[in-house]
């Protein structure tokens, strides 16, 4: 397995097509909107592709051969060891699922996931802004406001998913809700990735401010902005047991598009 030069990214699109239907992060890497690395078995005519993105790792190919499984086993072990990667979250073609134990460093933990999509605004967030709160789009002025307390998670999200703040402002977007009495950001929804005229967003709300409708308010502002900018679809992923996330998605206007399974593996045995 070797690193694919970005100038050749187009050659793996067909292999990744099925996974890309419900993972915009793949398109985000392929279009170079979001950081990532692609590994292939052979650069000219790849048959196996392993794509690492800020939102997870994706594996696709035709039916895997014994040699391909062996090569991938060595590659994943070296990759995790040499880059000090403690865990890997993998979504793969169904053909690879029976052989996961053969190339992952430890038996994978299956994680039931759901994918939601929204193609039209369905929640009038402006009418739901209640007293004591204000919703802002993230821009340079907001990030440098001396009187505003912004959680580190917001800055980490920008850096992890976009590489730099400049790249985020050039291609990404996000919204926050401020508690006016404390001048603290208490809910935030940012784009995870953008590619092929679609995006995915996430949402986080400070534990002290949950169950007040702020997650729906903030994420609806992000959805409204994304669709107004010409994106055709907004995606949303969550674990199947995350009832709060599912409720927020449905409230904002998302519909369940599919259930699927990802797999978590770890470099070392959990203590």
Torsion (CA) 56, 216, 246, 169 in degrees, nearest 10: -10
What's the chain look like in SS3? CEECCHHHHHHHHHHHHHHHCCCHHHHHHHCCCCCCEEEECCCCCCCEEEEEECCEEEEEECCCCHHHHHHHHHHHHHHHHHCCCCEEEEEECHHHHHHHHHHCCCCCEEEEEEEEEECCCCCCHHHHCCCCEEEEECCHHHHCCCCCECCHHHHHHHHHHHCCHHHHHHHCCEEEEEECCCCEEEEEEEEEEEECCEEEEEEEECHHHCCCCHHHHHHHHHHHHHHHCCCCEEEEEEECCCHHHHHHHHHHCCEEEEEEEEEEEECCCCC
Q: What is the pLDDT of residue 269?
A: 64
What pLDDT is stored for residue 11 in this prediction? 95
- For the stretch 140-196, pLDDT in tens is 999 999 999 999 999 999 999 999 999 999 999 999 999 999 999 999 999 999 999
pLDDT score at 82: 83
Give the pLDDT of the chain (271 residues) as one tens digit per residue. 999 999 999 999 999 999 999 999 999 999 999 999 999 999 889 999 999 999 999 999 988 889 999 999 999 988 888 887 888 999 999 999 999 999 998 889 999 999 999 999 899 999 999 899 999 999 999 999 999 999 999 999 999 999 999 999 999 999 999 999 999 999 999 999 999 999 999 999 999 999 999 999 999 999 999 999 999 999 999 999 999 999 999 999 999 999 999 999 987 765 3
> CA-to-CA distance for 180 and 183, rounded, in angstroms?
5
What is residue 266's predicted lDDT score, i.e. its pLDDT? 86
- Residue 199 makes CB contacts below 8 A (sequence gap 6+) with 24, 191, 192, 193, 226, 231, 233, 234, 235
What is the maximum span of the chain, computed from C-alpha positions, in angstroms?
A: 62
Predicted TM-score (pTM) of this structure:
0.93
Q: What residue ranges define each of the domains in the chain, with the CATH number in brackets? A: 2-105 (3.40.630), 117-260 (3.40.630.30)
pLDDT of residue 271: 39
Beta pairing class for 87-92 and 56-61: parallel
Q: How confident is the model at residue 267, as a pLDDT?
A: 73
Asked whether the beta carbons of 124 and 266 are under 8 A apart, the reply is no
C-alpha distances out from residue 21 to 14, 50, 143, 253, 257, Å: 11, 16, 33, 20, 11
């Amino acid at each position: 397995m070797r690193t694919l030069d970005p100038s050749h990214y187009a050659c793996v699109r067909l292999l990744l097509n099925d996974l890309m239907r419900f993972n915009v992060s793949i398109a985000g890497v392929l279009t170079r909107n979001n950081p990532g690395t692609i590994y292939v078995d052979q650069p000219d005519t790849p048959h196996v592709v392993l794509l690492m993105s800020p939102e997870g790792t994706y594996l696709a190919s035709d039916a895997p051969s014994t040699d391909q499984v062996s090569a991938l086993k060595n590659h994943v072990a070296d990759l995790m060891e040499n880059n000090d990667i403690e865990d890997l979250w993998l979504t793969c073609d169904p053909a690879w699922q029976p052989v996961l134990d053969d190339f992952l460093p430890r038996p994978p933990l299956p994680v039931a996931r759901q994918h939601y999509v929204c193609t039209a605004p369905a929640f009038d967030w402006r009418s739901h802004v209640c007293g004591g709160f204000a919703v802002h789009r993230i821009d340079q002025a907001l990030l440098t406001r001396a009187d505003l307390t912004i959680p580190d998670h917001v800055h980490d999200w920008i850096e992890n998913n976009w590489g730099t703040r400049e790249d985020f402002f050039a291609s990404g977007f996000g919204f926050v809700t401020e508690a006016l009495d404390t001048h603290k950001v208490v809910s935030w929804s940012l784009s995870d990735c953008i590619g092929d005229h679609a995006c995915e967003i996430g949402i986080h709300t400070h534990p002290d401010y949950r169950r007040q409708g702020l997650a729906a308010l903030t994420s609806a502002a992000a959805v409204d902005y994304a669709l107004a900018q010409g994106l055709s679809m907004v995606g949303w992923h969550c674990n199947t047991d995350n009832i709060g996330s599912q409720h927020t998605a449905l409230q904002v206007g998302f519909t369940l598009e599919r259930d699927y399974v990802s797999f978590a593996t770890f470099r070392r045995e959990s203590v």
